[in-house]
Chain A
Amino acid sequence: MSCDLNGKELAMYDVIIIGSGAGGGMAAYQLTKAGANVCLLEAGGYFDPADPKYITQLKWPYESPRRGASTVRAFGDFDAAWGGWQIDGEPYSAETGTEFHWFRSQMLGGRTNHWGRISLRFGPDDFRRYSLSGIGADWPIGYDDMKPYYDRVDKLIGVFGTNVGLPNEPDGFFLPPPKPRLHEMLITKAARSIGVPVFPSRLAVLTKPINQERGTCFYCAQCGRACSAYADFSSSSALVIPALKTGKLTLINNAMAREVLTDPQSGLCTGVSYVDKTSLQERTVKGKLVVLAASTCQSARLLLNSKSSRFQRGLANGSGVVGKYLNDSTGASMSGFIPALMNRKRYNEDGAQSCHIYTPWWLDNKKLDFPRGYHIEYGGGMRMPDAGFMSGIEAYNGLIADASGKKKEAGGYGASLKEDYHRYYGAFVSMAGRGEPVPMESNYCEIDPNRVDQYGIPTLRFNYKWSDYEIKQARHMQQTFDEILHAMGGQRVSPAPSADRNYGLEAPGRIIHEAGTIRMGNDPKTSALNAFQQAHEVKNLFVVDAAAFPSQGDKNLTWTILASSMRTSDYIIDQIKKKSL
């Protein structure tokens, strides 16, 4: 029998889950629905997108004294992410000469409250990159293993899109997509004219009702604020809150897990110790099984910090791979200005927040000088103004003749400047490439031996550099953007970045698709988890976030986190039934 400090007997949970984002929310939902007694530890506070005290949706910029500027929240005052690139009292560092930016959001639902909702399945090739190219790693499972779960996630959570029958961009169960916006139609036409395909995007937004609990999109273009109608997918609204309704879930907020506890004899997990952030007290929960879902880097940090005489390199880390093969999507972008869109007719153009169209990878890397593909996301339109409204107009308002046919001197003031804001509003497009990186052993996070956070938990130190593969891919992205923009008759606004700036390749971490730090594989010498994301060395320990992914395709990875967490949850239920756990 175990007791807390006051001698009170501790509950014994069937499962303890750490983290309530995409991975943890799905596991909590599946396991409680199957009848398990689950304890969910979440480092952040409670959040419900429908509770008025949290709602920022449909607020106007003037309801914020900084007009929504990003001084306090990384993506602006109204964004539903509590956290950011830095969190006071919880530092991280990077090895000199390397760089990694780590975005954390600590709240019920984690980063799924404000994510872009771009929901792309991996295709068959994305699971076998090593076999296809001789570099990188294969997954221990293939698309056929994942397909049933992707199908179930499509139906359970809801995603719009279209079936286009592409070999590596699998069809799914899609709700009808919203119509494209004007700039998206112009992009589609231009891109197709030069052989770049464009299709309706795939977003986890409900354009049709799917059940009684969740509403339908009313097109406010603010999914990043988390939808109060539950019409977009947030783990808080779509998974954890329904799981709470089963009565089987004990949610503990403000619980920062410190380490996973193990029994020295059996080597099995027995529970988790955590810091209650509101009282700074150390607490313990006991469970028969532990599921890590604290996000790629936090889950690795937890294992590396869970050291014991039996697990001297950290829990489940006999292979030494924990922390290694950290990889983030590549990203490069461009913004351009379309003269044909000047002086646009005004109408309400708000749709879903993210693009209604996208370009999946369309070329053959065997014929290119870089080994992996990318997809393109598009932006633009008559958006709600915010604190960055048309900032830097002096760079472009001299480019185009006014109504009288004369070009103006750039900059200016007064009536003619006011007119410029009118003329140029809504005449911009942006293109952003999101590419597949090659996971490298030399890119990793590790425990910084010299630092702890304000809870006394040792912090992470990153070590990450892009290789030529990613830099050449970014160069190709920029060329594609220029070609599409040229075909639209547009002009670049953002400078064309050159080789010394890696062609605008964003620094590692910036795209917020980290993966790979606790990778799965068939060989316990080169992987930490088996094909069911179960630790090779600790059979009652599972990882259900993107730490488990040997690679990540060029597809934003959340849909795969959801599908693989569902698959692992099914496996856990099955093993419990068979009494093998």
Chain B
Amino acid sequence: MNRRDILKSIPLTTLSLSAATPEVSPTAPVPKPAITEFKNGKSPEEQRRDNALQTAKFLTAHELATVTLLCDIILPADARSPSASQVGVPQFIEFMLKDQPDMQTPVRGGLSWLDHECRQRFGKAFTDCTPPQRIAVVDDIAYPAKAKLEHKPGVAFFSRMRNLTAAGYFTSKAGIADLGYMGNTPHQWAGPPKEVLDQFGLSFDPDVHYADMG
């Protein structure tokens, strides 16, 4: 079995008796103790699956370099927040490709399409193009409504990369801070702040005794 087959054979559900224990690579020095307990809310099967996915590799070094450039074109650094690659988005995408193998062909194929397009136009792969050359190609695939028919495969690929990049970015610590999500911490909910109510001309139902009113 090659690595991909091994990964495919790991069941997706948490309850399987037949959960295949991922093969330990032949060079591994000491076998780790078997995982038998829940940890951080994850079942033993989930922990084993995640560990196996994390040690496996899908993207080649060249593909990962292309993904990294694309991520940073999609969400670059600015005065307020870091770029996508600075918060680990390429690694997140690599993980998702192993986690959801259905994405492997569209992404690998999209990366090849991009290189092919660049070779035709500029005689070199995307990573070897100059920044203006890269942007010239990206401009042709980043706007679904006005894209030319011959660029449609690139459009679908770029939309996927945009969605993956945003998911990885805005679920990272820095991305959450950048977005301004302020929850996930115990608090007393007492309705929208007064200035927000005023902005929208809203007020609470006077007949209702709400939880925060004592």
Contacts and interface: CB of A to CB of B under 8 A. Distances in A.
| Size bracket, chain B contacts | 35 or more
Contact of B144 (A61, A189, A388, A394): A394
A283 to B, nearest CB: 16
B182 A346 contact: yes
Contact of B39 (A53, A73, A82, A351): A53
A346 B17 CA distance: 46
B96 interface: yes
B75 A350 contact: no
Contacts, number: 243
B213 A176 contact: yes
B163 A392 contact: yes
A398 B166 CA distance: 17
A348 interface: yes
Contacts of B15: 44, 82-83, 87-90, 106
B162 A398 contact: no
A175 interface: yes
Interface in B38-55: 38-43, 46, 49-50, 53-54
B128 interface: no
B192 interface: yes
Contacts of B54: 65
A204 to B, nearest CB: 14
Nearest to A410: B145
B211 A175 contact: yes
A282 to B, nearest CB: 15
Nearest to A415: B78
Contacts of A220: 183-186
A47 to B, nearest CB: 9
Contact of A182 (B39, B138, B172, B200): B200
Interface stretch (A4-12, A131-139, A378-386, A549-557): A378-386
Contacts of A277: 17
A387 interface: yes
A103 interface: no
B145 to A, nearest CB: 6
Contacts of B138: 413
A412 B142 contact: yes
26 contacts: A54-B38, A59-B40, A59-B41, A65-B53, A68-B171, A69-B96, A69-B99, A73-B14, A83-B14, A84-B13, A89-B15, A89-B17, A90-B15, A182-B192, A182-B200, A185-B197, A220-B184, A346-B182, A349-B183, A384-B181, A387-B171, A389-B167, A398-B145, A417-B75, A418-B75, A425-B180
Given A200-B208, A219-B189, 18 more contacts: A56-B41, A72-B46, A88-B13, A179-B210, A182-B196, A185-B192, A186-B200, A219-B187, A277-B17, A348-B182, A348-B183, A384-B176, A385-B171, A389-B166, A411-B143, A413-B142, A421-B170, A454-B17
Interface of A: 44, 53-56, 58-63, 65-69, 71-73, 77-78, 82-84, 86-90, 106, 160, 162, 175-182, 185-186, 189, 200, 207-208, 218-222, 225, 277, 280, 340, 345-351, 382-394, 398, 409-415, 417-418, 421-422, 425, 454
